[in-house]
Structure 1
Amino acid sequence: MSTYPNFPLLSLPIAAGLAYAPHFIRALIVINATKRWNNVSPRGQVDKVESRMTKSAYAMAKRAEGAHQNGLETLPIFYAAVLAALYAGVAKDTVTYYSKFFVLSRLAFNIVYIFNTNQASAGLRTGIWTASIVACLKLFLAAAATKY
């Protein structure tokens, strides 16, 4: 028996954590590079301190910022897909499978996005993003096909 018998609901806060993790990684990159953080205006922080950062640290911070934004953009789609599938009564194993797939793909997406330095890894990132969206679409389609 699973420790978390209703993983699809647990996956919702996990997915939120994965969406926000790059924000904190970006802050750590900036703090490590500049030895300070401006919490009064954190959204523009990376651009404000660009001149005090190495090019690679600045680029990584910008990619972390992008991963965070992408996570926020994707999160509502995932939430709606999981909740629609649960509401429609889609088989629990199906919802669990796609919830786990989404969470793992978002973890991989963040890693690849933040450490991406070439076109090949950028292509991999796009493939991972596509896979995470397909998981959501599968949940929506399963919900639509379920009679309740």
Structure 2
Amino acid sequence: MAAFDRNFTFFTIPAAFILLFFPKVYSAILGRKYFNQADPRKYQPAVSKADDLDYKTKNRILRAEAAVANGLETISLYAAAVVAVNAADVDPKTANALSIVYLGTRVAYNIVYVILQDDPRWGMVRSVTWMGGIWIILAMFLLAGAAVY
């Protein structure tokens, strides 16, 4: 595929950043009346204490907030991995493919964690999708290391 011949990995960093906020939008839609712009850190405790939210909605909001936090915790590793594969001049097709797969793991993680995990049996799938993203990051660093070794 000709599009994969040109390196577009740097563009996947802002894409990953945007993706990590999709659960926040979902959370805000579900729990907007509990969000106080002047004190946003009280949002999750307010949702937890809410008597008028059903169990499923409350948990989706809290899982969505946790998914955003997870995305923020891992995006710096991903950005560093993208820089590493570019600095080491890893084959663009390989770097591009890994970047696309990483974005796919983040989309899958968000869907599984926020929506599908209403059924706790999806917990293992959530962990596997998260680990898939981490393995992609590690693979990028290993390829960069091998390229400069």
1:60, 1:147 → 2: CA distance? 44
Q: 1:1-148 alignment to 2 at 5 Å?
A: 1-2=2-3, 5-31=6-32, 34=33, 37-49=35-47, 50-115=50-115, 116-147=117-148
2:42, 2:35 → 1: CA distance? 11
Structure 1 vs Structure 2: percent identity of aligned residues? 30
2:89, 2:3 → 1: CA distance? 20
Q: Which amino acid aligns with 1:14?
A: A
Q: Relative to 1, partners in 2 of residues 1:4 and 1:147: Cα closer, same or farther, differing over 3 Å? A: closer
2:129, 2:4 → 1: CA distance? 28
1:77, 1:118 → 2: CA distance? 30
Secondary structure of the residue aligned to 1:2 is helix
Q: Which amino acid aligns with 1:84?
A: A
| Most deviating of 19-28 and 129-138 | 19-28
**1:30 and 1:46 in contact (8 A); partners too:** no
**Deviation readout 1:16-73 (Å, 9 max, x if unpaired):** 0111221121111102xx4x64211122213214223111111100000110010001
**2:36 and 2:42 in contact (8 A); partners too:** no
**2:4 and 2:93 in contact (8 A); partners too:** no
Structure 1: gaps (5+ residues): none
Q: Which amino acid aligns with 1:75?
A: I
Instruction: Calculate the TM-score normalised by the size of structure 2.
Output: 0.89
**1:18 and 1:107 in contact (8 A); partners too:** yes
Task: State the Cα distance separating 1:4 from its structure 2 match.
Answer: 9.6
Q: Which amino acid aligns with 2:97?
A: Y
Q: Relative to 1, partners in 2 of residues 1:103 and 1:40: Cα closer, same or farther, differing over 3 Å? A: same
1:3, 1:142 → 2: CA distance? 17
Query: How many residues align structurally?
Result: 145
Structure 2: gaps (5+ residues): none
1:29, 1:4 → 2: CA distance? 42
Instruction: Calculate the TM-score normalised by the size of structure 1.
Output: 0.90
